[in-house]
Structure 1
Amino acid sequence: MADVKRLPGAFEHHWSWQLQGACRTVDTSVFFHPTNERGAAAVRRDQAAKSVCARCPVLLECRRYALEVREPYGVWGGLTEDERHALLARRRGRSRTAA
Structure 2
Amino acid sequence: MADALCAQVDGDVWFPAVGGSAKEAKAICKECPVLEQCLAFAVEHHEVGIWGGTSEKQRRALRREAA
Task: Return the TM-score normalized by structure 2.
Answer: 0.91
The structure having more radius of gyration, on CA atoms, is 1
Deviations 1:19-39 (A, max 9, x none): 1101111111100134xx32x
Where does the alignment leave 5 or more consecutive residues of structure 2 unmatched? none
Is the partner of 2:46 in helix, strand or coil? coil
Structure with bigger helix share is 1
Tell me the matched-pair count.
Answer: 67
Q: Structure 1 stretches (4+) deviating beyond 2 angstroms? A: none
Where does the alignment leave 5 or more consecutive residues of structure 1 unmatched? 1-17, 93-99
Task: Return the TM-score normalized by structure 1.
Answer: 0.64
Matches within 5 A, 1:4-83: 18-34=1-17, 37-38=18-19, 42-43=20-21, 46-71=22-47, 73-83=48-58
